[in-house]
Amino acid sequence: MVLTQIAMVAIMTMTPVHMRVHHHGLADVGLVIGVHIGSMYLPSLVTGALVDRVGRTPMAAAAGLTLLLAGVTAALAPGESLGLLILALALLGLGWNFGLISGTALVVDNTAPDIRPRVQGKIDVLVALAGAGGGMLSGVVMAGTSYAVLALAGGVLALLLLPVLLWARRGAVVAEPGR
């Protein structure tokens, strides 16, 4: 959930700046961000069912791959291409959704009920800090390089989910204190 938050916030934060540099009006920016926000939350009912049917780990992997596709699409989209920016930010929202729902299910599955609220609270704080850090660093990265580099880096960062999932599958997740 932390990795998906960093990738999503970093790319999302700088997309309006990138769009304005390429002379998109505020209506275009609003459309792209609106589609992105819709893609973050509207699929939740279907994503929950997919997480139950397909599995938590495959859906978490799908989050990383979807975020990579979002980053690559954003990086390769010409600045004036509204359609490709809409697609990139829709994929970004969907990848975040996959990561949040599968991540939450993994937390529930791998924590004892008596410690679950504490664990979830700590994760929520980490997710919030990751979002703040991703947002702040995205401006620095974009100012020092470009939107394309930022978007690609965000997508590649999301791929770190894959080794984390492998590590977790090997039993490294702690289900109870002292275990």
pLDDT digits (tens, 9 = 90+) for 11-50: 999 999 999 999 999 999 999 999 999 999 999 999 999 9
Tokens of 8: 């999503």
Residue 111's region, left for phi above 0, alpha for psi from -120 to 50, else beta, is beta
2-169 maps to CATH 1.20.1250.20: yes
Residue 173's region, left for phi above 0, alpha for psi from -120 to 50, else beta, is beta
Q: What is this structure's pTM?
A: 0.90
Determine the pLDDT at residue 170.
74
Determine the pLDDT at residue 124.
94
Chain centroid to Cα 147, Å, comes to 17
pLDDT digits (tens, 9 = 90+) for 92-149: 999 999 999 999 999 999 899 999 999 999 999 999 999 999 999 999 999 999 999 9
Pair 30, 170: CB distance under 8 Å: no
Nearest C-alpha neighbor of 135 from the set 3, 1, 12: 12
